[in-house]
Each structure stands twice: as structure tokens, then as C-alpha cells.
Amino acid sequence: MHESLGTLLPAWSALPFVGILLSIALFPLAAPHFWHHHYPKVALAWGLLLAIPFVWVYGATAVHEILHVALLDYVPFLILLGTLFTIGGGIYIRGSWRGSPAVNATLLLLGTFLASWIGTTGAAMLLIRPLLRANANRRHRQHTVVFFIFLVANIGGSLTPLGDPPLFLGFLRGVPFAWTLTLGSELLVVGGLVLAAYLVLDAWLWKRESIEVRTAPPGTETLRIDGGINFLLLGGVLAAVILSGVWHPGEVTILGIQAGLQNLVRDGLLILLLITSWTITPRPVREANGYSWGPIREVAILFAAIFVTIIPPLAILKAGEHGALAGLIHAVRTPAQFFWASGILSSFLDNAPTYLTFLSTALGRLYPDLPEREAILRLIAENGLYLKAISTGAVFMGANTYIGNAPNFMVKAIAEEAGVEMPSFFGYMKYSGLVLVPIFLVATWIFF
């Protein structure tokens, strides 16, 4: 269904998707008051601009695609994100931290390590609030949140299938669980260079802080964790996600859409964990964290429009050499090209289907007559550089934009609610263009 639709859709069918991206990028700058009060209407307008003509022209096929995205992609995405947001908001890490370059770098390093084991979203939701509190008195703190997105919400999730959705999908397709540990060298080089760039920038900005901020003695509050029971619930989230990947009891049909029973069980468990966290976490803990539903509401509304309008570009991408992006797919040949193609598209599209598209492209070119799982093992044994390029491109370059990976926009929303003036969509891309792109070029030269 996806492939046949992707061969029919013209390139300009992606215009509503471009429209919602430009709205997110430009309205907060050009008309901030309007955007703050009316962004749900803007999101709805772009969604309807795609959905109405899409259904008019393609009928039942279009309805099926919209329901497919809603039931199998958007709803599970929102359940997972909402669960992690709620559980993370129930963990309050006390302590008298001052947002010096050394303290900030330590928190970034810790988050980068945790991202591969509790997921980029889990690590981001756990540590973003302690980082914001440590820097509450600083005038220059925007850059710290941006580098947090770079490292904790993206690059750090490259070592295990638990870290980022593309790697988890690769695991489900037959990539051995431990294979992603071979990406350690890429993580050390890219993550190390990004962290070094942060330290240089933060040390310079630290000197521009007031003398009162730089010389203020740390407080006397000892390190303590309130709401620690939520760590057990976080473990439950990981167990539910892993269970959905290894247990396959069958499928059920919902509104004509085939859904794996294991995914429904996972989502039910996640909702139960969300309710449990909300029920058992004392209200003062969430109040101390500055917890509110505002960030998750904003993400839910904007990503509803993104998930609907992204249907045409993803369908075209999945059509490969038979779709409107045939020229791009056909031109991607070397590991370096796979790294940049999967990375650039993952910066704006969902990195999970982008990863699968280029994985399928590589397998089709190198091992066209083998079953997928056997072909993947051959790819790892004989041409592992291709899989490394696709994997790191999809994971690392999700950091290039706010919408490149699920936690990026969530971190932005939490930071803004805490009073941090975050860069605009294009302002953020200036950071990624000046910091990440040169580092990715270095990684290309070293590894691919």
C-alpha cells in the first residue's frame, strides 16, 4: 500500500508538510502573540489542507493511510512520550548545583551515557530539569539546552537498540542486539567533539556572567532524589518496549488497520505506568519540578499535524527508486553518501522509516536474492560500513532540527516554560550548522 501510493504521489504533495515546518519556524518570530494563542488552529489548517484533497483524490486508500498513521504511529508515539514525560516529571533530583562549565559538562556527559540505556527521551526527561535548575541564575543558558538536545536527545542514543527508534527497528529486522556497541568509536569521536565545542563556548560565556554568578558559593542542599519509585516505573517502560519487540502473539484489526497485539499490550502497559506515576508521586515533587501539561500539549498538537502531513513525503521515500525521490535514492552509492542521505532526511522526516528505507536500499543492491535477516548478517560481516553509515546518520543527524527526533521539541518546550529563551527553528539550525555539520564532515572523513 505504501509503495503503490508512493509511486503515484507527486513531489508537491509534500507542500503541507513544508508549510507546517515553516509555520513552526517563522510564526514564533514574526507573530509570537498570534502563534502562542492560535498554533492549534494553524496546525489543524495544515492537517486539513493535506487530508481533504488527499481523501478526495485517493479515497479509501488515503483514509487507510491516515488511520494507519494515527493508530500505529501517532498514538503510540504520544503514549510513549507522555508516559516518559510524566514519569520523568515525578523524579526530583535535589542538590546545590551551580551551572559552571564543569557541572554542565558533567550533566551532559551523564545524559549522553544514559541515553543508550534508557532511551534518548527517557534520559532527556530525567535530566533536563536538573540542568535548568543548575543554570537558573545564569544569563547565558540557551546554548546549554541546545547542546543538551545534541548530545542527550540524539547522539548519545547510538549504542543500543534501546537508545533510538531506528536502531530498535533494526534489531526487530535482524540486527543483533550487541552490534550497535560497535558504534562506540563513532560516538566517542562525534560526542567528544560536540562536548569539547560546548566546553569552549560555555567557558567563554561563563566569563561574561556577572561576578556574583561566578563567585556565588554553592548551596548547602545535599544530593537527594525524591520520587525515586519512578525509576522502577521507568524500568517498566523499557521492559514494555522490549517485550513488544520480542513477543509476537498475533494481530487484531482496528478500523481496518492490522495492529500487532504486542503493541496494544505495550501501549496499555505504558498508560498503566503513566497513571501509576501520576497517582503515587506526591504533588510537592511535581511542583518542585515545575511540572505542567503545557509542553506535552504543545507537542501533541503540533505533531498531530506533522504526522498527517508527513504521509506523502514518507510514502514517496518508501517507494525508493520508483517514487518522486528516485534520483536521490539512485544516487546514493557509497557509505559516505548513505551517511549523509539518511542523516539529512532524518533531520526533517521520521528517522525510523528513513533508516529502514536506506537499509532496504543497501540490502537490495548488495544482496538482492537473500532473505532479509540473512542479508543483514551478510551486510554486517562483509559490508558493515554501510550499516554503520545508515545507523549513525539516522541517529546523529536527528539533532539537526527541532523535529529531527521526538525529545528535541519536548526539551525546547520544557526549557521555554522554565523561562529560557530558546532559538527559533532556523536559529537552532544555525547552531547545528556551525557545530554539528563540521563535526559530521570530520566523522565522514574518519569513518566513511
Segment 224-270, tens digit of pLDDT: 778 888 889 988 988 888 888 778 888 888 888 888 888 899 889 99
State the pLDDT at residue 95: 66
User: With bands split at pLDDT 50, 70 and 90, how would you rate the model's confidence at 3?
Assistant: very low
Round to whole Å and give the CA distance between 226 and 282: 9
Instruction: Give residue 175's identity as a one-letter amino acid code.
Output: V
Query: Are the CB atoms for 225 and 91 separated by under 8 Å?
Result: yes
Q: Is residue 317 scored above 80 in pLDDT?
A: no
pLDDT above 90 for 352: no
- Nearest to 281, CA basis, from 76, 97, 91: 91
Q: Which of 19-33, 156-170, 349-363 has the lowest mean pLDDT?
A: 349-363
Predicted local distance difference test score (pLDDT) of residue 112: 93
Between 184 and 119, name the one with better pLDDT: 184
Could you give the C-alpha distances from 66 to 21, 55, 442, in angstroms and in order?
19, 9, 40
* CB contact at 8 A, 410 and 296: yes
CA separation for the pair 406, 299 (Å, rounded)? 9
State the cell numbers at 191: 560526542
Highest mean pLDDT of the ranges 162-171, 184-193, 200-209: 184-193
Is pLDDT at 80 greater than 50 in this prediction? yes
What is d(CA 398, CA 410) in angstroms, rounded to the nearest whole number?
Answer: 14
Q: Which domain holds residue 296?
A: 2-447
Note whether 158 and 167 are within 8 A (CB).
Answer: yes
Is the Cβ–Cβ distance between 20 and 306 less than 8 Å? yes
Give the SS3 label for residue 176.
coil
Q: Name the 3-class secondary structure at 201.
A: helix
pLDDT tier, 143 (very low <50, low <70, confident <90, very high otherwise): very high
CA 43/CA 21 separation, integer angstroms: 10
pLDDT of residue 247: 83
Q: What is the pLDDT of residue 111?
A: 92
Number of separate domains in the chain: 1
Q: What is the pLDDT of residues 53-64, one digit of tens each?
A: 999 988 888 888
Where is pLDDT greater, at 6 or 107?
A: 107
Provide the pLDDT for residue 70: 85
Instruction: Please say if the pLDDT value at position 2 is more than 70.
Output: no
* pLDDT score of 217: 66
pLDDT at site 77: 77
Tell me which of 169-173, 205-209, 275-279, 440-444 is least confident: 169-173
Cell of 337: 553518501
Does residue 165 carry a pLDDT above 80?
Answer: no
In the chain, % of residues over pLDDT 70 = 94
Q: Does 52 have pLDDT greater than 70?
A: yes
What's the average model confidence in pLDDT over 379-393?
A: 90
Place of cell 526533517: 348
Is the pLDDT confidence value at 219 over 80?
no
Residue 109 pLDDT greater than 90, yes or no = yes
SS3 of residue 281 by DSSP: coil
Task: Give the residue among 85, 76, 79, 77 at the shortest CA–CA distance from 281.
Answer: 85
pLDDT at residue 23 tops 80? yes
Mean confidence (pLDDT) of the chain: 84
Nine-digit cell at 11?
513531489
* Phi then psi dihedrals of residue 257, to 5 deg: -105, 130
pTM of the model: 0.80
Give the residue-averaged pLDDT of 291-309.
83
* Residue 161, SS3 per DSSP: coil
Comparing 127-131, 141-145, 214-218, 399-403, which segment has the lowest mean pLDDT?
A: 214-218
Q: What is the largest CA-CA distance in the chain?
A: 68
96-108 pLDDT, tens digit each: 677 788 889 999 9
pLDDT score of 220 more than 80: no
Read off the pLDDT of each residue in 99-121 and give the average, rounded to a whole number: 87
DSSP 358-406: HHHHHHHHH-TTS-HHHHHHHHHHHHHHHHHHHHHHHHHGGGGSTTSSH
Q: How many CB atoms lie within 10 A of CB 250?
A: 7
Mean pLDDT over 332-350 rounds to 86
Of 151 and 361, more confident:
151
- The model's confidence at residue 350, banded by pLDDT at 50, 70 and 90, is low
- Dist CA 105 CA 374 (whole Å): 42
Query: What is the mean pLDDT of the segment spanning 116-138?
Result: 84
